[in-house]
Amino acid sequence: MEMDQLVALCRRRGFLFQSSEIYGGLNGFWDYGPLGVELKRNIKEAWWRDMVAGHNELVAPPGAPSTYEMVGLDASIIMHPQVWKCSGHYDLFHDMMVDCRACKGRWRADHLRSAECPHKPSKRPGEFEKCSLTDPREFNLMFKTIVGAMGGEEDAAFLRPETAQGIFVNFKNLCDSTRVKVPFGIAQVGKSFRNEITPRNFTFRSREFEQMEIEFFCHPSTSRKWYEYWRDRRMAWYTSLGLAGERLRLREHDKDELSHYSVGTADIEYAFPFLSEGEYGELEGIAHRGDFDLRSHMEGKLVKNAEGCLEVEMVEIADGKRVPKHRGSGRDLTYRDDTTNERFTPHVIEPSAGADRGTLAFLCEAYHEDKAPDDKGEMQTRTVMKFHPRIAPVKAAVFPLVKKDGMPEAAKEIYTALKKRFIVFYDEKGAVGRRYRRQDEAGTPFCITVDGQTLQDGTVTVRDRDSLEQWRVKSADVVEEIAKRIEE
């Protein structure tokens, strides 16, 4: 599949539009149309159901070291600026940026090898004789804003670049207000913002995006086993929803790739069509963060010393006195085990998924072209989006074969019954074959047709999107039939 084909379909069928398109658009921002918003919502709901709402804390899942609990949180987008200073984002959350003095182009330094020179597309920036590149320099990725009416520098704040910190600063609140015991996880779905230097590749690298994150708190002695459990569990989740084969892989980070806080990290990656052959893009990172985050918000910004251990970063002030560069909250974020009376700082395992990147991967995986007979029995090329039924934007479409003989009335009754439980679509316009094609493009897994036989024996035809198989079901059983097949 060529990426242009998918982008065209997304716009034509209402999956995705460029934000503010009538004014020329705004780079790095995207709007989800009617089908896109349902697809993304279904992915987020599947994640929440499988990771949080459907989790049984009384039984240890396969591969888990023990039972555990899961709770949810919805933290604010704008937080106290000290949060970002202690987390390291204020000082460290930057990319290296390069400009061209000649064409005024701007790139991330690590993207130069894959970028094109605007004046000479056959060459990379810096290779053309007229190029004049600046030295790489730091560019902080956080969006700055002002809180309150005064508008001074003391009122500066930031749109959050990740959802994780809202969980860490609420750790004590969650422990005090609920009966959760370590090990337990806190899950959150929410928007984050990063002022990317060069947004590109459709929605893959955007300035506004949505994350699905878990911060899982565990005893230090069991953290490695929990890291392996979440790494494998998250990989299995994608395959269960249809991402499989050579296009999906799990990759452990080399030591030189690890973040300054990470003990170990694995990425779940997908071979997106816009990447060169053999290249993969990150869908989700599963990081073993150790006790870095809770200690940071207790003590202050941490750095590694010469021995590789974390310590508070100090600066020298007047009279040679040394103080923390960014002071922590001073609150006690340790945990006391009621059974053993042991007090410790929990380690954190973080499965962090991108809802927008996940949606893009499912769109890419779903896109297929095959041959199917038209109304006259002649084989025609059809475009079909083969979404897993759980995440398909529309679960079923209902058609009367013709607009007479009581068929529309019977079809509308079935539509009304289905509508109480699912997103469904009613269509009585055009030949039934064309109606099937429209639903294939939208990714609707099942089409239900009311025909002459329905009026005789009360049965309808159900058509499967992928196999094109058709079978008859009693009208009264249609809702349960669709429900059963969605959950298969």
pTM for this entry: 0.90
Task: Tell me which amino acid residue 380 is.
Answer: Q
> Residue 360's pLDDT is what?
97
pLDDT mean over 180-193: 97
What would the pLDDT profile of 33-43 be if each residue is shown by its tens digit?
999 999 999 99
Span 381-436, pLDDT tens digits: 889 999 999 999 999 999 999 999 999 999 999 999 999 999 999 999 999 999 99
| 3-state SS assignment for residue 327 | strand
Q: How confident is the model at residue 23 (pLDDT cuts 50, 70, 90)?
A: very high
Phi-psi region of 320 (alpha: psi -120 to 50; beta: other; left: phi over 0): left
The whole-number pLDDT of residue 200 equals 82
Helix (H) or strand (E) holding 144: strand 144-146
**222 alpha carbon, distance to own chain's centre:** 27
The backbone torsions φ and ψ at residue 199, rounded to the nearest 5 degrees and listed phi first, read -60, 140
**The pLDDT of residue 375:** 67
CA 481 to chain centre: 30
Percent of the chain with pLDDT over 90: 75
| Cα 360 to Cα 155: distance, rounded to the nearest angstrom | 37
Q: Is the peptide bond before 183 cis (omega within 30 degrees of 0)?
A: yes
Dihedral sign for Cα atoms in the order 95, 235, 226, 55? positive
Q: Does residue 481 surpass a pLDDT of 70?
A: yes
Average confidence score pLDDT of the chain = 92
What the block records as the tokens of 418 is 């289905």
Q: Is the pLDDT of residue 456 over 70?
A: yes
| 217-262 pLDDT tens trace | 999 999 999 999 999 999 999 999 999 888 999 999 887 777 666 7
What is the C-alpha to C-alpha distance for residues 296 and 1, in angstroms, rounded to an integer?
Answer: 46
Q: Which pLDDT band, with edges at 50, 70 and 90, does 335 fall under?
A: very high
CB 199 within 8 A of CB 27: yes
Region 149-154: mean pLDDT is 80
Lowest mean pLDDT among 141-145, 422-426, 468-472, 475-479: 141-145
Q: Map tokens 């052959």 to a residue.
A: 277
For residue 395, what are its two tokens? Answer: 């679960």
Banded pLDDT at 109 (limits 50, 70, 90): confident
Read off the pLDDT of residues 258-286 as tens digits, 9 standing for 90 and up. Answer: 766 677 899 999 999 999 899 999 999 99
What pLDDT is stored for residue 260 in this prediction? 62
Q: How confident is the model at residue 198 (pLDDT cuts 50, 70, 90)?
A: confident
* Range 132-147 average pLDDT: 86
Q: In this structure, what token pair is assigned to residue 394?
A: 């529309």
The residue among 395, 386, 390 whose CA lies nearest residue 364 is 386
Contact 211, 352 (CB under 8 A): yes
* Average pLDDT of the segment spanning 55-59: 97
279 burial (CB, 10 Å; 0-12 / 13-18 / 19+) is exposed
DSSP-derived secondary structure for 176-232:
HHS---SSEEEEEEEEEE---SS-BTTTTB-SEEEEEEEEEEE-GGGHHHHHHHHHH
- Rounded to whole angstroms, what are the CA distances from 269 to 249, 284, 340, 358, 391? 5, 7, 40, 10, 20
How far apart (Å, rounded) are the C-alpha atoms in residues 200 and 187? 28
Sort strands 69-72 and 184-193 into parallel, antiparallel or unpaired: parallel
Phi and psi of 304, rounded to 5°? Answer: -85, 135
Instruction: Give the range among 70-84, 92-106, 212-226 with minimum mean pLDDT.
Output: 92-106
Please give the full DSSP string across 374-438, using - where no structure is assigned: -TTS-EEEEEEE---TTT-S--EEEEESSSSTTHHHHHHHHHHHHHTTS-EEE--SS-HHHHHHH
Which two structure tokens, joined as six digits, stand for 487? 């959950």
Q: Write the CB contacts of 135 (distance below 8 Å, at least 6 apart in sequence).
A: 98
The pLDDT value given to residue 202? 92
